[in-house]
Structures are given as C-alpha cells and as structure tokens.
C-alpha cells in the first residue's frame, strides 16, 4: 500500500435532493425527498433536512411520507442529474487520468497517477481545490476523503459529510478502523455481518483478534483472507479508469401487478427496445438475451437465449425476449420485468434467427419512449405530462416547476435557480400556455469560473445554498 494519502474519494452530498434544492429556491433549507411516488416507490435520495425525520435512501416511499408528511416529494430528473455528473467527472479527470466512477455522484481518483499529489500537503490542496471547483461549476457541494487506499478514502469521505474534507494520515489506519463496525469493510453486507455477529465478532478489532484462520473457517478461503487483510488496513485495489461493461439491461417495477398476458408481452417488447437503444448508445452488440420476471409472490425467474452472433437489432432482441417469455408462468401477476443483453462485442453480425432482419424500429415509438422509471412515465400519462418536480414554462409567467397535479389541474411554482422563492399558480392541465421545459443550469456558464474557483479559500465559502421560502409539499396541489 502506498505511503501517501493520494487516493481521493468524492461523494456528492445528497446529490439528487441537493440538485433539486439548488434549482428550486423555495426548497432550500427544506425537507426534500426524491424517488418513485407510486405505492411501490422507494426513496432515491433524501435531503439532510429530511434525514432528521429518519428518511433515508431505499426506504419505501409510503414510510417516508409517514415520517415526513410535510416534505417535498419529487420524481427524479435523471437527465438533469447526469448533466451535472458529467461536469463533476470532467473536473476529476483534470486531476488524473485514473478516475473510477462508481455512480453519478461518487468516484475514486488516483492523484499520484496524475502528478497532482505526492504527499499529504499536496493531497490536501488538491482536495480543497476540487471542492471549490465543484461549487463554482455546479453550485453543489461534495465531501472528499483522502487516504492511502480506496477503502480508507471512502471511509474518510463518509466522515467528511456533509461538505467537508478528511485526510487519513498513513500510520493511523489501524487505530481508526479498530472500534468501527465490521460493516465498514468492503464486502461485508447484511448476510456476512450477521454471520460474524453470531460468531461474536462485531468490530474490526475483533476480526483481528479472531485471527485469519478463524475468518477462513467462518467465511471460506477467499473471503476470509481478503477480509482479514482489510481489517489490518491492507487494501491493494487499484483505481481502475475504465470498467469493462459485461451487460446492458433495463427493468421496471410496476405499482400494480400486471395480470394481462398481452400487457406483459407489450412491456417486454418496450423494454427490449429501450435496452437496444442503450446498447447502441454504448457502441456495443451482444449475443445473449436475458429476460427477468419477478412474480406477485416475489419469486424471480431469469431466462436466457444465446444467438449465433452478436446483434444490436431491436427486432431480434424483441423476438428473443418474447420467446423466453413463452416459457414463464405469469399466473397470479407480474410486479417486475427486465430485459438485458450480455456476451457483448463492439461489432454486429447478421443474425440468422431474425425473421424481420433489416426492420427499423418505428421512429415515433423510438422518440416517445424514454429511460425514465415506470412510475415517472405512468405519472406523466395520468397527469398529462405534469410530473411533480419537473420543469415547465408558461407563456406569461415564465419558467417554473410542477408542484402537484390532479383533478384536472396542475399547480406550478414559478422560480429559477437564481431567483427569489417564486409564487404558486394553478392552471387547467390542458392550458395551451403551459408546456414542458428543459431544466435551467444551476450556475451561470462564465468562462474562467473554474480557474477562479481554485483560488477561493475553502473556509470562505458558505456551508450551503440556503434560502427562505414557504414549505412545499409537492405531493399535493
């Protein structure tokens, strides 16, 4: 393991919720929950104000509403979040060619590989500059952890939350890890954690005390050896710039179980088309088509078919997925469907199984479908495009966002990222003056903004973009 803390872990603070607060002045300093709003929806991200009430990621949305009934509940705007993420990842790649994204809001960076840092002092400067640049470019905050390994850098960023920077100095790792729960170590999930707990092992120090042989006996050779090394603060995993894509897949969970076999077939075809668009977008093709079906009783079935050669033909993928569906009993209802393609290649080959080879996907269908969650699409269908939290523009009042919709009316709050909290107005859902709009940027695109940000001392920056304004329960108009 390297001697200097030159592995950086960045974790954007409550990313989706913070992006929503930054774009909606009336929500700054308020409890905001982002996720699927249907009966089976789950929380994607909760703002720190919502976390005070016990709301957290992956919690059922119904439970979140009970804990924080007055919070603003918004449907995710994934295109908006992705655009911000690309800005952040661009800043990281300026620090080093070795950037390993883990999600839209999280990544590892090897600062030493980029010549950006070589000791503790230079690593601190790089981390401080990154945080200032992120604020200047996106208006958001991120927490930075610096250490000699990926495991420790991630632990440091957790300690830095929110909006902070923590460096774990070489030589202090064992003392830091010792009293922590075993769940802090990579690879220790709920099942492994319970297994260790039943053996009387609760902390990292107790793993070390148990010894490597006992870990191997409890968890097996590979897992035991690896976990013992982690407990001793040894983590040799490198930062990997490009991860090989092994599969491309899409899936949807339905608020109400689907019982109609025809509807199931149509959903499978739609998912197959979405999957192919992602496949083509990545410049890939694949040989193995995979169908995933979760039934009413939560039993999950996976079926696959391998073609003679790689394809990115939507007709081929649709037909293969439908053939797989024929062998699945959907009696009782289906709550989740997924279609994937694996055995990937960067070229295509004419598929001899294709009955409709050369067919093009109907352009109208291609343009109408999108990669948004099913809850978002169904909400749009019911509410005539007016999805809670999404952007709109009115011919007279300008830019705003949907605060709620129902009973033939839509309530809109008119404000922009750089305005004061705006006024709320209600319209008929068919009002011709109201139309969907693209999100506005969070900050002005001023040339040189990033360069100037690097000279701003971190201590001089405000802790958060807060603002005053009335509460907003966007689940109701």
Q: Which residues of 264-290 are buried (b: 16+ CB within 10 A; e: fewer)?
A: bbebbbbbbbbbbbebeeeebbbbbbb
The residue written with tokens 């859902």 in the block is 429
pLDDT at 456: 33
pLDDT at residue 262 is higher than 60 = yes
For helices 78-95 and 120-138, the axis angle rounded to 10 degrees is 150
pLDDT at residue 17 is higher than 60 = yes
* CA gap 209, 1 in Å, rounded: 22
pLDDT at residue 410 is higher than 90 = yes
Q: Which of the listed ranges 298-302, 359-363, 415-419 does the model predict with the highest average pLDDT?
A: 415-419
Mean residue pLDDT of the chain comes to: 83
For helices 212-219 and 190-198, the axis angle rounded to 10 degrees is 120
pLDDT at 264: 93
Residues of the chain with pLDDT > 70, as a percent, come to 83
Confidence of residue 176 (pLDDT cuts 50, 70, 90): very high
pLDDT at residue 435 is higher than 60 = yes
Confidence of residue 358 (pLDDT cuts 50, 70, 90): very low
> What would the mean pLDDT of 149-174 be, rounded to a whole number?
93
pLDDT at 1: 59
Q: Return phi, psi of residue 5, to 5°.
A: -80, 70
Q: Which of the listed ranges 190-194, 348-352, 358-362, 371-375 does the model predict with the highest average pLDDT?
A: 190-194
pLDDT at residue 348 is higher than 70 = no
Q: Which residues of 14-43 are buried (b: 16+ CB within 10 A; e: fewer)?
A: bbbbbbbbbbbbbbbbbbbbbbbbbebbbb
pLDDT at 103: 86
pLDDT at 243: 65
Confidence of residue 346 (pLDDT cuts 50, 70, 90): low
pLDDT at 8: 97
pLDDT at 347: 57
Q: Which residues are catalytic?
A: 106
Confidence of residue 188 (pLDDT cuts 50, 70, 90): confident
pLDDT at 109: 96
Across the strands, what pairs with 336?
Answer: 253, 294
Query: pTM (2 decimals)?
Result: 0.71
pLDDT at 2: 63
pLDDT at residue 350 is higher than 90 = no
pLDDT at 474: 36
If one compares 204 and 247, the residue with the highest pLDDT of the two is 204
Q: Tell me the longest C-alpha to C-alpha distance in the chain.
A: 73
Across the strands, what pairs with 32?
Answer: 72
Confidence of residue 48 (pLDDT cuts 50, 70, 90): very high
pLDDT at 445: 56
Per residue in 284-328, pLDDT (tens digit) is 889 999 999 998 888 889 999 998 888 888 999 999 999 999 989
> What would the mean pLDDT of 1-24 be, rounded to a whole number?
92
Confidence of residue 244 (pLDDT cuts 50, 70, 90): low
Q: What angle do CA 331, 332, 338 make, to 5 degrees?
A: 75
Structure tokens at 309: 């050669």
Q: Give kind and range of the element (H or E) at residue 93.
A: helix 78-95
Confidence of residue 447 (pLDDT cuts 50, 70, 90): very low
The answer to whether residues 337 and 293 touch, using CB atoms and an 8 Å cutoff, is yes
Residues of the chain with pLDDT > 90, as a percent, come to 59
pLDDT at 359: 34
> What would the mean pLDDT of 101-121 be, rounded to a whole number?
93
Per residue in 119-156, pLDDT (tens digit) is 999 999 999 999 999 999 999 999 999 999 999 999 99
* CA gap 437, 391 in Å, rounded: 5
């Amino acid at each position: 393991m390297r001697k200097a803390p030159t592995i950086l872990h960045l974790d954007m603070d409550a990313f989706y919720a913070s992006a929503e607060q930054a774009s909606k002045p009336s929500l700054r300093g308020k409890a905001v929950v982002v996720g699927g709003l249907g009966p089976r929806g789950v929380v994607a991200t909760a703002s720190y104000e919502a976390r005070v009430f016990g709301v957290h990621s992956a919690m059922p949305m119904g439970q979140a509403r009970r804990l924080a009934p007055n919070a603003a509940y918004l449907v995710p705007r994934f295109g908006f979040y992705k655009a911000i993420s690309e800005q952040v990842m661009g800043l990281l790649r300026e620090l080093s060619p070795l950037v390993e994204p883990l999600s839209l809001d999280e990544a590892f960076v090897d600062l030493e590989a980029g010549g950006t840092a070589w000791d503790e002092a230079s690593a601190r400067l790089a981390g401080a500059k990154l945080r200032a640049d992120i604020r200047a470019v996106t208006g958001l905050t991120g927490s930075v952890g610096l250490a000699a390994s990926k495991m420790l850098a991630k632990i440091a960023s957790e300690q830095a939350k929110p909006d902070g920077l923590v460096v774990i100095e070489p030589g202090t790792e064992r003392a830091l890890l010792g009293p922590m729960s075993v769940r802090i170590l990579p690879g220790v999930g709920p099942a492994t954690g319970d297994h260790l707990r039943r053996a009387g092992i609760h902390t990292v120090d107790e793993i070390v005390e148990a010894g490597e042989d006992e870990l191997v006996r409890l968890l097996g050779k590979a897992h035991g050896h690896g976990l013992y090394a982690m407990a001793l603060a040894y983590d040799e995993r490198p930062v990997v710039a490009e991860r090989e894509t092994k599969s491309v897949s899409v899936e949807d969970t339905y608020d109400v179980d689907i019982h109609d076999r025809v509807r199931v077939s149509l959903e499978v075809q739609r998912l197959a088309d979405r999957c192919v668009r992602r496949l083509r977008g990545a410049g890939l093709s694949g040989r193995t088509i995979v169908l995933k079906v979760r039934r009413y009783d939560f039993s999950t079935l996976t079926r696959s078919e391998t073609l003679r050669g790689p394809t990115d033909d939507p007709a081929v993928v649709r037909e293969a997925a439908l053939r797989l569906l024929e062998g699945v009993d959907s009696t009782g209802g289906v709550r989740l469907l997924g279609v994937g393609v694996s055995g990937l290649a960067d070229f295509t080959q004419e598929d001899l199984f294709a009955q409709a080879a050369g067919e093009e996907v109907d352009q109208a269908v291609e343009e109408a479908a999108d990669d948004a969650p099913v809850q978002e699409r169904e909400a749009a269908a019911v509410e005539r495009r007016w999805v809670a939290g999404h952007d709109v523009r009115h011919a007279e009042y300008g830019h705003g966002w949907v605060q709620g919709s129902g009973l033939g009316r839509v309530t809109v709050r008119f404000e922009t990222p750089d305005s004061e909290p705006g006024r709320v107005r209600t319209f008929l859902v068919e009002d011709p003056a109201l139309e969907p709009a693209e999100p506005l940027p969070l900050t002005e695109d001023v040339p040189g903004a990033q360069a100037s940000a690097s000279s701003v001392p971190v201590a001089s920056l405000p802790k958060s973009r807060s603002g005053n304004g009335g509460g907003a329960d966007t689940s109701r108009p």
